[in-house]
Structure 1
Amino acid sequence: MEKILMTLFLIDCVVLIACVMMQPAKNDNDAMSALTGGAGDLFSRRKPRGFEAVMQIVTVIFGALFFILALALVFVSSH
């Protein structure tokens, strides 16, 4: 059981890294955001659509799976 969980955990790690690397970059390089910390854009954010929205959902799913598998591995290895 521990080997199966470890294999799933390693696959999830690789997929999670790929998901994070595939997310689009956020370009906030203007001087005002450097001074204010980007607070001026707080209410002007748009809802992500298309590929960006899909990548955010997939990243959250694989991130949650990462923590669930990590807890399962700790439980299985302690018993």
Structure 2
Amino acid sequence: MTGAARGIGAATAAALARFGADVAVCDREDMGATVKAVEEAGRRVYAATVDVREEDAVRTFLTASYAEFGAFDVP
């Protein structure tokens, strides 16, 4: 989930967690509140500071997210 520090990105990450998903989130800003919301829903979260304008940063985020969760699925 990109743009997860606030707004629609944060709300979507929290909602996915409430519906049973582990969530990988990224943003250029602090995502502490989003991470807390996912964890309070009892789900795992991988969070990374990423500027999505930088292709290598996105590739690194996706690789690390896959390593953390083993798959990309929406329950």
The verdict on a shared fold, with TM-score over 0.5 as the criterion, is: no
- Greater fraction helix: 1
The normalised TM-score by structure 1 is: 0.25
The normalised TM-score by structure 2 is: 0.25
Say which structure, 1 or 2, has more relative contact order (CA 8 Å, 6+ apart).
Answer: 1
Larger radius of gyration: 1
